[in-house]
Amino acid sequence: MVKVGILGCMGRMGQALASAATQSETLSLVIGSERAGHALIGKTAPGSDIPVTDQADTVFEASDLVIDFTPPGDTVKHAALAEKKGVRLLVGTTGLTGADDAALDRAAQSVAIMQAGNYSLGVNVLLSLVRQAAARLDEGWDIEVLEMHHKQKVDAPSGTALMLGGAAAEGRGKGLPELRTPAREGITGEREPGSIGFAALRGGSVIGEHSVILASDSERITLSHRAENRNLFAAGAVQAAAWLSRQGPGRYHMRDVLGL
């Protein structure tokens, strides 16, 4: 069994990851961490019965593979610990900086590293389909990305929407910043050929819905994904962690896990 530690184990995602990991036939959950001052520091986490520490290096010492879905800010430190301890690292943190990516690239020279903005298996298949469609349909097909999330979400468009737009741009051999159109409001003029537009909706308790619309003058394709519960993200991450546990040094992506 592969010994696994979870950073931020008592957050909403951390608890979902712990629950999914305990059901894995490949992974053995052994330790978790939380911020200093958390009530469970020095105790065991309810549900998983793993010890909880406020020291990230203790998690890396005890683990063969560490899962990190903590907020931005500590990725450079965690990548350095993975490199120093020779521990595989799976990162679900979004909003990474150039310094974060550079640190993950450095660590990947000596250990297996994976980072993804979304570990849903369905979303990652959708990314592949969008990439293929954009590559095969010329700029006579307009591309729009539509997403909806719950009313508490603070950023727009969502990270997954940007990933989908990035996949479409990649399919056309360009970068998203080159093709992205700002949110439309007022007198915007005609749509610029080849651009990729975004629209964001917010309301209720919607977990996440994403659609990519490819529209020509005579037909339209809509590729969509709907999240039915949040556990799917943890399940995908644990499946990816089991796959990563068998890999040598390198920087990996969900498309590698799924063979896309």
Residues assigned a catalytic role: 149, 153
Taking the C-alpha atoms of residue 71 and residue 137, their distance in angstroms, rounded to an integer, is 37
Q: Tokens 């729009």 — which residue?
A: 144
Element (H, E) at 123: helix 121-136
Q: How far apart are the first and last CA of the chain?
A: 27
Q: CA torsion angle for 241, 244, 246, 247 (degrees, to 10)? A: -170
Q: What is the DSSP letter of 81?
A: H
CA atoms lying within 13 Å on the CB side of residue 12 = 5
Angle at 129 between CA 123 and CA 135, to 5 degrees: 140
